[in-house]
Amino acid sequence: MQIAVTGITGNMGQATLEELVKLDFIDKFKFLVLPDDKRIKKISKRYKNYKDKFEIIYGNLAESDKCQKLVEGCDYVVNLAAVIPPHSDQFPEKAIECNEVGVNCLVSAIENMEKQPKYIHISTVALYGNRSYKHPWGQVGDPLLVSPYDIYSATKLRGEFRVLESNIKTWVVLRQTAMLHKNMLADNMSDGLMFHTCFNAPLEWATAHDSGLLIANILKKDREDLSKVFWKRVFNIGGGEANCLTGYDTLNDGFKLIGGSAKDFFKPYYNATRNFHGMWFYDGDLLDQLFHYQTQDTKDYWKEIASTHKYYSLGKAVPKGLIGTFAIKRLFKSPNSPAYWAKHNDEARLIAYFGGRKNYEALGSDWSKFNLIVENKDENGDYLDYAFLRQKKNAKLIGYYYDINNYENITIKDLKAVAQAHGGELLSKKYNGDIYEKLDWLTQDGETFSASAFTVLKAGHWYNKIYKENVWEFDRLSKKDKIFAEIWLDSHSADENYQYSFDENFNAKIKED
């Protein structure tokens, strides 16, 4: 058996390779690696005993000929490649090239093959956009409201849509949740990205190890017939209920390594209050039931970090004020930080991430005046039972306007109901019951688009400008779209009417309609 893998030098890629080499039924591995990626030398050295099985193709995912060479003769293609934050924020053109154009090239290469391999596509939780305590739990089929100015999620959205609407015969889309990996602390101390993490945001974590194990277990179990339960579906890669935390919890756990807490090193005004991406997966156990990959929780991860990076414990002897100044506040100079936006009058981002400068400045430094849901307070300071909220059995899900648990008997009435809830219409007059059949739809703006019933109902896609250009109009759309409104209005006022966009140089623009 031959397998092609992209993104093998990344965190999930390396964890995946560690598991894949244990599978004795894989005869050949083909990797697509950027020519300037120095990590491949270390990987090749580590796996020198497998060099006869490895074929490294140097090139870019956006190069059609390299994609064709990669997939040729393969039984499986696993696309782990992605330009993720903060690199996607720093180099948006590369995010477009990899996450969007590259996916199109890879998908086209597979479509053109006489004998197509099975395709595993790694997508992201970022597609769901911002969540709050009002709807912390969600599932595949929830609306995809990618956060303004997040070029990563916008390009991943377009890439995923291309996969779902492709002519690949056997595919699966796996939306990865927030991932804990060995380089996470170092990566987050090099950019202002960590200030995007809302303290009250629901975050479900999975480790890189478990994510890699999942891919290996899929290949092992696919020797059985998984066609009815796995292929041609979308799943969330979760970490389990124990790994459902908040942004504050996560920061707090990290700072325990140096004998402190999030409050010792952060102030309320440091971090965004909305416009993040993350949620707790109501359906996160479905993949684990099939492939039994969830072996680690966040406590395991932090123990491993403390064990392998013992120098972090030295921070206990350093005054917290010094660490706060030289490790945290220095990142205020990063163009990706709210402090930078405030200083340089980036009002567009202050509106997107805080609701405006006034809200940003009102946060201040006093933790006693900031409402944390982990301390059982909602946004107004009223009592909120955080322990109750974290239990999946108590989840409050949105309305889907049809029975979302129904796969076998979707009717044209269901399709019309969902389209109407979006403020649009089903244009196709006939539906033969094939959930993958291409149908014609009309948006609330009078635009037509083609997509299967699966893509719209089961994967949560509904066409709007973000599918073709970097324009976010969810304020306006949610006024007529009942499905969008259920999530968007959890963190946005009904009277907000902003259009967020990028100019040709990826500068943030905003206008009020």
Residue 390 phi, psi dihedral angles, 5° rounding:
-75, -10
Q: Residue 375 and residue 466: Cα distance in Å, rounded?
A: 36
Residue 165: both structure tokens together: 């609407």
Residue 356 phi, psi dihedral angles, 5° rounding:
130, 165
Task: Cite the DSSP H helix spans in 336-446.
Answer: 338-343, 347-354, 357-363, 386-389, 412-421
Averages of pLDDT over runs of 10 residues in the chain (513 residues) are 97 97 97 95 94 96 98 98 96 98 98 97 98 98 98 98 98 96 72 95 96 98 92 97 95 86 94 97 97 94 80 64 78 96 98 98 96 97 97 96 93 98 98 96 98 98 98 98 98 97 97 90
Q: Residue 347 and residue 352: Cα distance in Å, rounded?
A: 9
- Helix H or strand E encompassing 237: strand 234-237
Q: Tell me the domains of the chain and their CATH numbers.
A: 2-181+196-240+279-295 (3.40.50.720), 412-512 (no CATH)
DSSP 44: H
- Residue 315: its pLDDT value, please? 63
What type of residue is 175?
R
Q: CB–CB of 402/410 below 8 Å?
A: yes
DSSP 122: E
Which whole-number Å values give the CA distances from 245 to 207, 241, 473, in the listed order?
14, 9, 29
Nearest to 124 by CA among 94, 97, 103: 103
Q: Residue 78 and residue 23: Cα distance in Å, rounded?
A: 15
Residue 352: both structure tokens together: 């997107």
Q: Residue 3: helix, strand or coil by DSSP?
A: strand
Q: CB–CB of 480/466 below 8 Å?
A: no
Residue 80: both structure tokens together: 């782990």
In the block, tokens 């809302």 appear at: 198
DSSP 395: -
Distance of CA 428 to the CA centre of its chain: 32
Q: Residue 15: helix, strand or coil by DSSP?
A: helix
